[in-house]
Every structure is written in C-alpha cells, then in structure tokens.
Amino acid sequence: MRVYLGLAAVVALALAGGASARTTGVSVQGLSKPVFTGQMITIHADVRPSGVQCSLSIRYSSKRVQRLGERTATARGISWGVRIPAVPTGRAHATVACGKAGTGTTSFTVQHALQAPRIVIQRSGWSQRPVERYGYSYTCFGLQVQNARTGLDAVRIALLVNLVDADNRVLATDHLRLGRIPAGKTIYTGDQVRMGLTEVARIEVVVVEATSQQMEPAMPPLVSDVFITMDTSGPFVGAIFGQLLNQSRMPMQGGEIGFLLQDPDGNIVGGGRGSARGPVSLGARELFKSSGSFDAVPHGGTEALVSIVPRYPRQMN
C-alpha cells in the first residue's frame, strides 16, 4: 500500500511540475514566405504569463541588428510592426525576450524586391569591310552592356541591333540573346553580319526583353594571355585566344564569353561572343577561342577585351 502511495505522489509531483513549466514561455509565430526589403511585416509572439515586458531584436545576414522597443504582453500575445531595412539578402533571425518568461526565436528569408531591369548600352562601335567584287560587305559590331541594377541580376536579355545609314534607313538587323548579366556588372558582346555595300552611319540598339532575378554567385574567372591572330585572307582579325582560371570554390560548369575589340585610340571596332566549357574546378584553367566573326576588323594595333559570366551548379547557389 505504501508503495502505491509513493508512486502516486511521484506522478502527482511530475504532473504538477509539467503544469508549472507550461505556465511560462514565449512562442514566436514563424514567417512561411520570404520578405522583401522595404516591406512591412508583423512579428507576433504568444507569451505566458501575460503582463510581462518584452523586446524584439532582428539579426540580419549582414550582422546588422534591428532593435524594437519594449511592449507589454497581453492575454492575446504581443506584436510588432517591422519595416525591413535595406540589408543584403539572406536569413534573418528574430528574437523576442520577455525576462523571466523566457525567449522565443524564429527565422525568415530576406530578398530584394524584383524591379524592372535597367539595361544600359554604354558604348558601341563597328567596322565595315566591303567586298566590292561580289557586291556585299561584312560589318562587325561590338557593344558594352551594363546591368544598372546593383541588387538584382538581369536574365533572358534580348537585344535588337539595327545598322543604320546616314539617311536613317535600316541596312541590316541582328538579334542577340544574353543569358545573364550579374547585378551592377558590365559585359561585352557583338556579332558580324553580311549586308550590302551601303556605308553604316550608326548603330541602333533596342532592349526587347529582360527579366530581373535574385542574385546568383558571379565570381568571374581570371582571364590572361589574350592574343589576336590575323586572318589568312588579309590584315584582319582571324581569331581571339586566351585562358581562364576558376577562382571560385565551386566548379564552373561553363559560361558566356563576350569580346570587345578596340583600336589604339580606345574606339570600339568590333565584338563577338563565345562560350566556356566545364566543369573547371578551383585553380584549374581552360583555353578559350573565338573565330569566324571578326574578319571585318583591321588587325593592326587592335586590342581585345574579354568578359565572362560564369555558370555554377544550381544546387550550390
């Protein structure tokens, strides 16, 4: 009989202890969806017992801490209205501290709100090589293109390029597609078209399409040993060679290469496109080459500028 009474006392004490433990605590409601910089959100916590003073602090991925003033918890809990400051993207951790009642935490993801892309054509130029014997010419053009959004990548970019004469007539049209321009970066691109003998007076570029996207890793590979060979048919550019070295810890799966050709005075005289292959691991290097679309550009004194937009495994972004 004494044994049963003893067991009953132990069980009663355990239940009493559990009930006591449940009389205090802080439970912060989680945010299931990403939030955006500049957005107003509500952080709510259920607090036991009510009547205690609580404070809220939010630590962002940049280590910045946002502190909100103390409030008194009621039977319905406690809430703060918070405007997300201009912070880098990443995980944020919200902590509600309520003295003896304890603390509660939750985390959420901060993203930059998607804005319309701002694609800027910073510079352009061309070279035209007439082939009078056959009644046509080759025109090689180059473009220096910038993504003016510093917090968002631009993807799926479509450019319409018109070669225009002195009377504002379109002589030839070309369509270029770029996969991605990282946030705030400048890339090079270009092409060569076959057209009539009428002289080109200017280039007209229209951004037909572009989409903003959250930033992806974009550490460019190191480019070196760039040199230009002469075409076998005369003193024109035949091919561009160089090597790239992956500086990222992630293996580069490939990438878009862009070329800009300049004369000794820094004027753009052509451009082109190419691609990098992969995978290329950290510290490994690879040869790249582009040919067949520069033979309207004079060879003497020409300098080649190179841009590379790398592509990494999506699951490692």
For 133-144, the pLDDT digits (tens) are 999 999 999 999
> What pLDDT is attached to residue 314?
66
Residue 115 pLDDT: 78
pTM confidence score? 0.71
Task: Find, among 188, 200, 55, the residue nearest to 122 by Cα.
Answer: 188
Given this model, what pLDDT does residue 143 score? 98
The pLDDT value given to residue 138: 97
Of residues 32 and 265, the one with the higher pLDDT is 265
- 205 pLDDT above the threshold of 80: yes
Instruction: Tell me the pLDDT band of 245, cut-offs 50, 70 and 90.
Output: very high
Give the model's pLDDT for residue 116: 84
Question: Where are the domain boundaries for CATH 2.60.40.10 in the chain?
Answer: 119-316
Residue range 98-112: mean pLDDT, rounded: 92
Task: For residues 174-190, give the mean pLDDT.
Answer: 96
CATH top class, domain 119-316: mainly beta
Percent of the chain with pLDDT over 70: 92
What pLDDT does 218 receive? 78
Q: What is the mean pLDDT of residues 27-31?
A: 89
Q: What is the mean pLDDT of residues 152-179?
A: 95
pLDDT of residue 1: 46
Please report the pLDDT score of residue 18 as a whole number.
43
Mean pLDDT computed over 229-238 = 91
Where are the domain boundaries for CATH 2.60.40.1930 in the chain? 27-111
Find, among 295, 267, 296, the residue nearest to 123 by Cα.
Answer: 267
Q: What is the pLDDT of residue 8?
A: 42
**Torsion angle, CA of 69/70/76/80, rounded to 10 degrees?**
10
Contact 241, 289 (CB under 8 A): yes
CA 314, 115, 208, 192 torsion: positive or negative? Answer: negative
**b/e map 110-127, b = 16+ CB within 10 Å:** bbbeeeebebebebbbbb
pLDDT for position 23: 72
Peptide bond between residue 117 and the one before it cis (omega within 30 degrees of 0): no
Q: What pLDDT sits at residue 91?
A: 93
Report the pLDDT value the prediction gives residue 113, as an integer from 0 to 100: 76
Instruction: Tell which CATH architecture fits domain 27-111.
Output: Sandwich (2.60)
User: Mean per-residue pLDDT for 104-125?
Assistant: 91
CA 12: distance to chain centroid?
A: 60
CB 290 within 8 A of CB 207: no
Q: With 70 as the cut, is the pLDDT of residue 9 above it?
A: no
**pLDDT band, residue 3 (cuts 50/70/90):** very low
